Structure 1
Amino acid sequence: MADLDDIRAWAARSIRILADDAARAEPTPLLPFPLPGDWGVSLLLKDESAHPTRTLKHRAARALFRHAIACGRIVEGTPVVEATGGGAAVAQAYTARLLGLPYTAVMPGEPDGRRAAPVRDLGGDVRFVTPPLAIYDEARRLAADSGGCFLDQFGWAERALDHRGDDLAGELFAQASRPDWVVAGAGTGATAASLGRHVREHGLSTRLAVVDPENSAYFPGWASGAADYATGMPSRIEGIGRPRMEPGFLPSLIDLMIRVPDAGSVAAARAVRAATGLPVGGSTGTCLWGALHLVSRMRDAGARGGVVAIIGDAGDRHLATYHDDGWAARKGLDPAPHAAAIDRFLHGAPWEPPAPRR
């Protein structure tokens, strides 16, 4: 077994590497989303896809590794395993390479070279597992068999992601001063928790809205107060929505939740691309849909102020999914009525989304 001094020296060195990586990063930009000037309301998009891994999960990956190292769950040479199918795998593979650690992502579904390529390009390994919910047991098994660490973002991210000013929350409020609303999606729930804690710790008047796609347990769990609410159904919007209430989702920090139709998420993702050129995914679309709902409330009340929406999933791979009519049709989604509602609203009409499916 390694000497205790060596273990601690490696841990301190690795945490410095992560701190240096964070210090070198420029703040991610705030992009204006065009609204009519006479509304007196601004909408800004906090573009977390500007990170090297082009994902909101970039900061969370750094925080998870930092926390696991500080807790002794990761030491020099520890194989790291995660169960994830989205941007978290890419961000974690990047961080593992930075620290010289082997990394494996266990993804749901049949083998898919397109999904695996970004992780493998960063030196990580990918295993595909069916049925989808089996990824967690498989990740735990791989970690146990290799003497590794199951990173377990759903169990740890809320505790690991800092809210005291050296990560997303502090950066956002330094850039945007005091917006009326901040809008975020919920995957692990950690990003929303860090924003909510920052607001309360600093006594800000900003309110936190969390958007949730179809099939997810978060909205009904929040609305009903049922901490164990579960739908058992997977989300069609990559990166957000869960079939059960996760431990990192903290309803007490949330001022408002907005249920967003999946077709609305697709339409809004396309609206972001039209406005910014970024080929964003569905989680960004979900956030924009919720942000437009809040903008409409402010406009209709004659209030002046601002809304900031967190976005963080831009990538060319979405051109073949959320931005492709054939893909949407195969998923049973028709974004056209929702796109028309967005267009009418941005030209001054009331915010009147299509009626939900029954």
Structure 2
Amino acid sequence: MGPGAGSEEEGGGRAPSAVRVRPRTEVPQATADVDRSDSAYRAWLKDAVRKVQADANRSADTHLLLFPLPEAWGIDLYLKDESTHPTGSLKHRLARSLFLYGLCNGWIRPGKPVIEASSGSTAVSEAYFAKLIGVPFVAVMPRTTSPEKIRLIEFHGGRCHFVDDPRTMYEESATLAERTGGHYMDQFTYAERATDWRGNNNIAESVYQQLRRERYPEPAWIVATAGTGGTSATIARYVHYMQHDTRICVPDPENSCFFDGWTHADPDASSDCGSRIEGIGRPRMEPSFVPGAIDRMMKVPDAASVAAVRALERAIGRKAGGSTGTGLWSAFRIVAEMVERGERGSVVTLICDGGERYLDKYYSDAWLAEQGLDIGPYSAAIDGFLRTARLGA
């Protein structure tokens, strides 16, 4: 299959305003077993919030890296390197926001477990914050999650609870929370509301601050892949709130329903199997995915995603996860279109996490063969793009 095959795209406009994601039924919280006016609980809560906020205060902002493109093109391509967070991924921001949200709502309680449905990186980051404030953590995840992510969750003191069907993660997490008296964090519902999208050093505000001395300080496009949809929602809302002209593109991998749901205004869109690109793509339209805020979506073949992360390593010497490749392939397409139209400007995408977690997947030729993925045509297309600014049909 050539680089253009299977690479459907819907561009040049937003999904109809009637698109709405079906609200999820709220999972009742377990009956409180502490008096929230009790001084011991309030002291614990204040200390927990302080520790989570102190983590942010200790962390320098993540780097904005420049991808080498020919100077004559007049286009700058940047990668926001979220792999440098303490837990190694973009999900560190989300986990911090979710813990603050849960603590300040009175949902996370001393001694009670925090439970999350996660394919890996969110669970790694949440395990870190659970350990930081001294509560147990359980990650409900597909059995196919990479061994390195499982190791990292356990390294931070978390426990892994496996399911065979990714579609059962939600119910299993809610059941565990009810049975243990813990809190189901539910990133797929709360990601878009736990983060302060108006500013407060969110990822969008950070990007614009870091670009302010560049030759094109307001990017033409920001490309953000979607797992929960929280990052794309935060960036899009910030762009609209600040009245920037930047447009937002969300690439979607194979075996994910976001593209179809956005394109056909279908809140009930679904997929029968899970994404091979860990951390992004979902089998259902998630509550935190905000279709109306997005300008464009692309459907990206998994082989193109893998080819792109390998090209990234050749270009800047950095390994990254498959979701980074999904975004980078889309960014390449956008740059090619801009060059063809004679436009100048900047494009930003994300390094979502490091590739060391996926050495047995996206950097393994044996895994590619097992999955039936041929990255050769896409690698050739990228090499051609970097010479000619044309990515292929």
Bin for the TM-score computed over the shorter chain: over 0.9
Paired residue for 2:12? none
Paired residue for 1:232? 272
Paired residue for 2:362? 322
On the 8 A contact 1:108/1:133 being kept in 2, the answer is no
Instruction: Report the residue type matching 1:37 in the other structure.
Output: E
Instruction: Report the residue type matching 1:4 in the other structure.
Output: S
Aligned pairs (5 A) from 1:243-262: 243-262=283-302
- The counterpart of 2:371, out of the listed 331, 338, 349, is 331
Distance of 2:297 and 2:148 partners within structure 1: 33
Q: SS of the residue aligned with 1:156?
A: helix
On the 8 A contact 1:217/1:245 being kept in 2, the answer is yes
On the 8 A contact 2:148/2:358 being kept in 1, the answer is no
Residue 196 (structure 1) aligned with residue 231 (structure 2): no
Shift of 1:202: 0.6
Distance of 1:79 and 1:181 partners within structure 2: 40
Paired residue for 1:94? 128
Instruction: Report the residue type matching 1:171 in the other structure.
Output: S
Paired residue for 1:356? none
Distance of 2:36 and 2:132 partners within structure 1: 23
- The counterpart of 2:141, out of the listed 100, 107, 110, is 107
Paired residue for 1:28? 62
Deviations, residues 225-246 of structure 1 (Å, cap 9, x unaligned): 1122112321111111111111
Deviations, residues 179-200 of structure 1 (Å, cap 9, x unaligned): 1110000000000000011001
Shift of 1:13: 2.6
On the 8 A contact 2:124/2:149 being kept in 1, the answer is no
- The counterpart of 2:250, out of the listed 179, 204, 210, is 210
Deviations, residues 49-77 of structure 1 (Å, cap 9, x unaligned): 01011111000000011111111111222
Residue 172 (structure 1) aligned with residue 212 (structure 2): no
TM-score by length of 1: 0.95
Paired residue for 1:269? 309
Q: 1:12 to 1:39 in 2, by over 3 A?
A: same
Q: 1:257 to 1:113 in 2, by over 3 A?
A: closer
Residue 4 (structure 1) aligned with residue 37 (structure 2): yes
Instruction: Report the residue type matching 2:43 in the other structure.
Output: A
Shift of 1:136: 2.2
Q: SS of the residue aligned with 1:4?
A: coil
Shift of 1:46: 0.3
Distance of 2:56 and 2:389 partners within structure 1: 43
Q: SS of the residue aligned with 2:191?
A: helix
Shift of 1:146: 1.1
More deviation, 108-117/120-129: 108-117
Q: 1:48 to 1:288 in 2, by over 3 A?
A: same
- The counterpart of 1:65, out of the listed 99, 103, 116, is 99
Residue 241 (structure 1) aligned with residue 281 (structure 2): yes
On the 8 A contact 1:49/1:56 being kept in 2, the answer is yes
Distance of 2:228 and 2:290 partners within structure 1: 10
Distance of 1:41 and 1:131 partners within structure 2: 43
On the 8 A contact 1:163/1:198 being kept in 2, the answer is yes
Higher relative contact order (CA 8 A, sep 6+): 2
On the 8 A contact 1:54/1:315 being kept in 2, the answer is no
Q: 1:297 to 1:57 in 2, by over 3 A?
A: same
For structure 1, the residue ranges without an aligned partner over 5 or more in a row are 354-358
Shift of 1:132: 2.8
Q: 1:259 to 1:111 in 2, by over 3 A?
A: closer
Shift of 1:8: 3.3
Paired residue for 1:128? 162
On the 8 A contact 1:287/1:310 being kept in 2, the answer is yes
CA RMSD of aligned residues (A): 1.5
Deviations, residues 280-315 of structure 1 (Å, cap 9, x unaligned): 111000000000011011111111110000221213
Distance of 1:180 and 1:199 partners within structure 2: 11
- The structure 1 segments of at least 4 consecutive aligned residues displaced by more than 3 Å after TM superposition are 110-115
Paired residue for 1:352? 392
Distance of 1:115 and 1:333 partners within structure 2: 23
Q: 1:93 to 1:285 in 2, by over 3 A?
A: same
- The counterpart of 1:187, out of the listed 213, 217, 227, is 227
Distance of 2:313 and 2:386 partners within structure 1: 15
More deviation, 173-182/11-20: 11-20
On the 8 A contact 1:232/1:244 being kept in 2, the answer is no
Deviations, residues 312-355 of structure 1 (Å, cap 9, x unaligned): 121313222101111111111101100000000101152215xx
Paired residue for 2:180? 146
Distance of 1:217 and 1:111 partners within structure 2: 20
Kindly tell me the number of residue pairs found equivalent between the two proteins: 353
Paired residue for 2:334? 294
On the 8 A contact 1:239/1:283 being kept in 2, the answer is yes
- The counterpart of 2:109, out of the listed 75, 78, 95, is 75
Instruction: Report the residue type matching 1:44 in the other structure.
Output: Y
Q: Which has the higher helix share?
A: 1
TM-score by length of 2: 0.87
Provide the identity percentage.
47
On the 8 A contact 2:360/2:367 being kept in 1, the answer is yes
